[in-house]
Amino acid sequence: MLGRLLERNQRLSNELEAACQKYGLTHGQIDWVSFSTTLYLNRQRVGFVGYNLEDKWYSRRNQLGSSRITESADAAIIALGVRQAVAA
């Protein structure tokens, strides 16, 4: 059981890292039990993302706000209104 949780968290962490890099975001410390974290753009909080028990990503702008359920970390970030940076 613990092995599966560690594998899941590693997979989710890799997906989150790739999505954050794509959008120029950083994140706070990951809560490994609930797999959730805060996202930042230029040190400004843009929202929260996580992975729920239904195997779906979610995002919300604030801790008490309603969640948007998505299929990927990328889609969860887009649901926060973040857009991919355009290369100059």
With respect to residue 87, please indicate whether it lies within any of the assigned structural domains. Answer: no
Q: What is the pLDDT of residues 51-86, one digit of tens each?
A: 999 999 999 999 888 999 999 999 999 999 998 876
Closest CA to 39 of 72, 16, 57: 16
Beta bridge partners of 56: none
Q: Tell me which amino acid residue 82 is.
A: V
26-30, 37-41, 62-66: the lowest-pLDDT one: 62-66
Confidence band, pLDDT 50/70/90 cuts, at residue 2? confident
Confidence class of residue 87 from pLDDT cuts 50, 70 and 90?
low
Residue 60 lies in a domain: yes
Number of structural domains (the chain) is 1
Is 85 within a domain?
Answer: no
pTM for this model (two decimals)? 0.89
The answer to whether 36 touches 50, Cβ cutoff 8 Å, is yes
Chain position carrying tokens 């970030």: 77
Query: Which residues span the domain enclosing 45?
Result: 2-79
CATH of the domain at 23: 3.90.930
